[in-house]
Amino acid sequence: MIQRRGALTAAFLTLALAATGCSTLNGATENLNPFKPKEVKDTASDGRRISVIAFDETVAAAEGLKGVDFYLPSPIAQADWPLPGGPAETAIENVAAAPDFEIAWKKGFGTGSSAKLHVTAPPILADGRVYVMDARAGVSALDARTGSVIWKKQLNARSKRDKVGFGGGLAYSGGKIYVSSGFRFVAQLDAATGESGWRQETASPIHGAPTVHAGKVFTISTDNELLSFDAGTGAPGWDFQALIEPARILSASSPVASGDVVVAAFASGELVAVRSGNGNDLWNNALSRASRTNALSEIRDVAGRPVIYKGDVFAASHSGVFVATDLRTGQARWSLPVSSIATPWAAGDVVYIISRAGELICASRDNGQVYWIKDLNAGIKKSKDRRLYFGPVVASDRLVVVSSDGRVLALNPKTGDVTKTLKIGAPALITPMAAGGMVYVVTDKAELVAIR
């Protein structure tokens, strides 16, 4: 069972999770790419759900790639980080941030996680301010250099049934902050002052952060519905209903967008591309395995945010599928049997993913063959003692990963070797942000940690 002590226990349990051991990815395979052109019989079309893995296999480093180098871009400064994955339509590969890799400051910003409340919102940064949200939907703007609080806005629930809620997130666009919340609403705030703009109630809670693109706000409800709103007025637009899935991870994904396409991942294991203008679906793939071996593999949720990079969509499901999908056609280019609740990171020739078992995997972006695997839980025999890891981001030629036991790890992106470890005093279960020369980490205690 995925476990955390105390308040951590509830955050990543599913609603239908049975007690079982966390599996590791081991063994050997000669062919890590089951999607050779001559073997592909299914093609994507409107409304079809294509299972991208139809058999059991394991993953290991490819013998032919041992000691082989790969291209990783040089660090580039990134001033802002307006969405949960960075700027829209910009390939974030290697950010020039935190060259000393030392803690600069910590700042509390509100209510932390507990048995019923959870801090889940990734931080964002714009115009020299870091925006964060606590476990009770309190939104704060902090000075990115010093951590001093500029403003704080408490967005209370308006319904008696929503006295207890959690989740949601933030996005920035055009001087406005857009908020989604587990208290069943989407709202707009002024980024400079925190003053309220519009607010729209939703039928279901929203556990993931919104995305703003092409004048619209996109977010996903716990009913597996992709919702759209006019960014200026808040007027509801089209919606897309995926399959209802009762068993899910209590963290949630955010939509991503490129051009006129929005890609969303759901608790049903569906990875869906739709037109941003009208919500018409372009393709719909199922990131689930045809053969499932335990209760955990029945949880199909895609909890990590999909990543669009150079024409491909990278996404991973809890049930054990990590796939590269052509954004235009919906055709799976390659896949690996990796169970994950984290967000991939693509850079140069490779893509990184952290498995649910705590293995950091570096795979070829072109064909999915694995360069190396680093077991971050090596030496830990009892499943209850294993840590959860989130990330990575690549910053100043380091892979940065956070953990459920309150550490921030820096690793060599070419080998996976740990080069430095920082203790931050509280569990961190949200992918870090790298912008403005810093790496920022949000902890379960509702603390923002700045690493210089």
Q: How does pLDDT run across 168-188, given as a tens digit for each residue?
A: 999 999 999 999 999 999 999
Position 157 pLDDT exceeds 60: yes
pLDDT value at 51 more than 90: no
Closest alpha carbon to 14 in 339, 287, 321, 263: 339
Residue 42: pLDDT above 50? no
Structural domain span for residue 54: 8-451
Is 1 domain-assigned? no
pLDDT over threshold 80, residue 85: yes
The partner residues of 55 in beta bridges, in order of sequence, read none
Give the neighbor-by-neighbor strand order of the sheet with 225-230. 211-213, 216-220, 225-230, 236-241
Distance of alpha carbon 50 from alpha carbon 332, whole angstroms = 9
Q: Are 433 and 394 in contact (CB under 8 A)?
A: no
Ramachandran class of 47: left when φ > 0, alpha when ψ lies in -120 to 50, beta otherwise: left
The CATH number linked to 384 is: 2.130.10.10
pLDDT, residue 57, reads: 60
CA angle at residue 296 from 291 to 301, to 5 degrees? 90
Q: So what's the pLDDT on residue 58?
A: 79
pLDDT per residue as tens digits for the range 319-350 = 999 999 999 999 999 999 999 999 999 999 99
Res 245: pLDDT: 80
- Residue 3 forms part of a structural domain: no
How many angstroms separate the Cα of 96 from the Cα of each of 56, 78, 407, 435, 438? Answer: 40, 7, 21, 8, 8
355, pLDDT greater than 90: yes
430 lies in some domain: yes
Per-residue pLDDT averaged across 232-247, rounded? 92
155 pLDDT higher than 60: yes
Q: Could you read off the pLDDT of 8-24 as tens digits, one per residue?
A: 433 344 333 333 333 33
Neighbouring CB atoms inside 10 A of 230's CB total 14
User: Domain for residue 61, yes or no?
Assistant: yes
Q: How far apart, in whole angstroms, are the C-alpha atoms of residue 29 and residue 63?
A: 10
Q: Is residue 276 domain-resident? A: yes
- Both tokens of residue 104? 């600069």
Q: Taking the model in full, what pTM does it have? A: 0.88
The pLDDT of residue 23 is: 31
Element (H, E) at 371: strand 370-375
Average confidence (pLDDT) over 199-228: 96
Position 2 in a domain = no
- Asked whether residue 77 is domain-assigned, the answer is yes
- Residue 61, CA distances (Å) to 64, 370, 390 in order: 9, 5, 21
Predicted pLDDT of residue 418: 98
The total number of structural domains in the chain stands at 1
Which pLDDT belongs to residue 249?
75
Query: What mean pLDDT value characterizes the chain?
Result: 86
| 367 falls within a domain | yes
| Prior bond of 392 cis (ω within 30°) | yes
Q: Is the pLDDT of residue 54 over 80?
A: no
CA distance 135 to 373: 34
**Residue carrying the six token digits 């208290």:** 183
